[in-house]
Structure 1
Amino acid sequence: MSDSSSAPADDGSSPDADADAAMSDAELAALREEVEAKYDFENFGPADMAKMTPEEWDAAFDPDSWVVGEELLDRVEQELRYRVAIREVFAVLERVTENGEPRILAYSDEGYAVVYPDGSVEGEGTVLRDVKPTVALCSMEDFEVNDAPETVRLPEPEEVAQGTGDFGNRMLQIVAFGQLLGGFALIGAWLVLPDLDSIIAPLAGLGFLVIGFFLFVVVANARLSDRFRAEEYRDRLRVMGLEGGSRPEFVPTFDGDENVASLVEAPERDALSSEG
């Protein structure tokens, strides 16, 4: 009796369970399509990561299809080198070992991140914020990792110092010189020519002079700002240890650190020293 009474119950529950599972799969597929349309995973960054809800995260990153292990570290290494090359990430990259297990270390003067083979990331600061989305993307099988150049180098101080650019500064200087020349010409004509007794000429001349001096001040300030920006960047490189060969104190140590080779080259040695 007990066997016959339990059989119908089992038969009746199985279709319901299958229907619930099918409904869940359908909803997940619909949500995945919605997430793929909502976010640009080719340019996925920290801001997008912060906007995603837990449901959207689960739909976008299927844990059953995650890439892990050595393959994940290889993908993360290549993608991070590419992002450093295009100036999207500012960090030194190293392949390190901890207790015999490989890790990827990224660090700058403002933080660090350690990537583990299982996809977990630890660290602090802006580097952690920049690395997390990259690891998430590289964990997806259908994400195509960008090809990094053979040689990836951190930017030179002169590149960082570029504000309006030398061409822009020269154009401003030409305009400023023209304004000054026009101002002096109007005032000189008003003083020399007796027929030119209108007050408009000297006022216009003074206006041209003010504009010319203002533009020259803008150019001087831009050049000074570029110089300060370059020096500030050199200080950041020194804090990162690129001049002395040692990492910042807040970066953890790993096995065989003395033999670790950086995956990103530093600027030229003379770029680390101040000019003049």
Structure 2
Amino acid sequence: MGSSGSSTGDGDERVPTDERDSASEADDLSTEQLREQVEQKYDFENFGPREMDEMSAEEWEAAFDPDSWITGPELLDRVEADLKQRVLDRDVFARIERHEDYLLAYSDTGFAVVYPDGSVQGEGTVLRDVKPTIALCSMDDYDVPDVPEGEILPKPQEIPEGGTELGNWMLQIVAFAQVAAGLGLLGAGVFFNRGIIAIVAGVFFLVIAVGLFFTVANARLSDRFRAEEFRERLRAMNVESGERPDFLPVDEDGQIVDDQIDDEEAVLPPREDPDGA
């Protein structure tokens, strides 16, 4: 009886341990499943502000492992390389400056100051574009491109008046063909008694030609407008002179002016203290 009671007691003591092990395995499995769902739901190669806003806290913790986050100077190096490549790809409009203790990205309307711990200060669209880059570059399995050499933004005078003219020339050729067909049908209907159908068809072709010519003119005007707008933004950033805009919270020596900038905002959640403090 005594040994039987002892055996039963040992079994009772083992039950909570087994339950805890099962619960732990279930938690690990659910985290893995959530991580797989996050990887399927979001395209981290094209991870941007919209995707960052959509992520829940649970998805964020599943996607970004705090024990493997990259911080320090290496994080600034990775953010610099990724941002410069995005500027070259025209995904981001900003000028990038790397300093020893921070990384500065700015445009004509906003800026972002990135620190080695992953925190950031700033305002405007540049801040919105930089946040996802910090998150991605903190991931060890995210491959960043090589740092592009030289100035990544063109000078204002280097911006062409518009894009390629190949598409416009093709539309003009089609429009001239429509004009020729329309005039031919009108002439056949009026002078050779081909009937009202030929006249209506000729007018129809001429209307199409006018629409195509209008499209070409509008495209060229839009290209010139965008080119001039781009030049003005570059001039506002003082790209040609190399000087910083006056609204930036950075003095001539490259030091951050604290009274001109908002509080820091953490992009990466804080790491857990391994000592439990």
TM bin, normalised by shorter chain, reads: 0.7 to 0.9
CA distance in 2, matches of 1:143, 1:90: 22
Pick closer, same or farther for the CA change 1:185–1:148 going to 2, 3 Å.
same
1:158 partnered with 2:160: yes
Opposite residue 130 of structure 1, the aligned amino acid is D
Unaligned runs of 5+ in 2: 1-12, 256-277
* Equivalent residue in structure 2 for 1:228, among 225, 250, 253: 225
SS at match of 2:102: strand
- Structure 1 match to 2:80: 77
1:67 partnered with 2:70: yes
Equivalent pair of 1:84/1:152 in contact (CA under 8 Å): no
What is the percentage of aligned positions where both structures have the same residue? 58
CA distance in 2, matches of 1:120, 1:17: 40
CA distance in 1, matches of 2:93, 2:171: 32
Q: CA deviation at 1:239?
A: 1.2
CA distance in 2, matches of 1:218, 1:37: 41
CA distance in 2, matches of 1:190, 1:29: 75
Equivalent pair of 1:179/1:211 in contact (CA under 8 Å): yes
Unaligned runs of 5+ in 1: 1-10, 259-276
Structure of greater relative contact order (alpha carbons < 8 Å, 6+ residues apart): 1
TM-score normalised by length of structure 2: 0.76
Q: CA deviation at 1:179?
A: 1.4
> After superposition, what is the alpha-carbon deviation per residue over 1:156-194, rounded to whole angstroms, capped at 9, x for unaligned?
5338x43xx41111111111111111222222334433x
SS at match of 1:237: helix
Equivalent pair of 2:153/2:239 in contact (CA under 8 Å): no
- Structure 2 match to 1:107: 106
SS at match of 1:144: coil
1:95 partnered with 2:92: no
Equivalent pair of 2:188/2:194 in contact (CA under 8 Å): no
Pairwise CA RMSD: 2.9
CA distance in 1, matches of 2:249, 2:129: 18
1:168 partnered with 2:170: no
CA distance in 2, matches of 1:33, 1:210: 55
1:189 partnered with 2:188: yes
Equivalent pair of 1:72/1:138 in contact (CA under 8 Å): yes
Q: CA deviation at 1:71?
A: 1.0
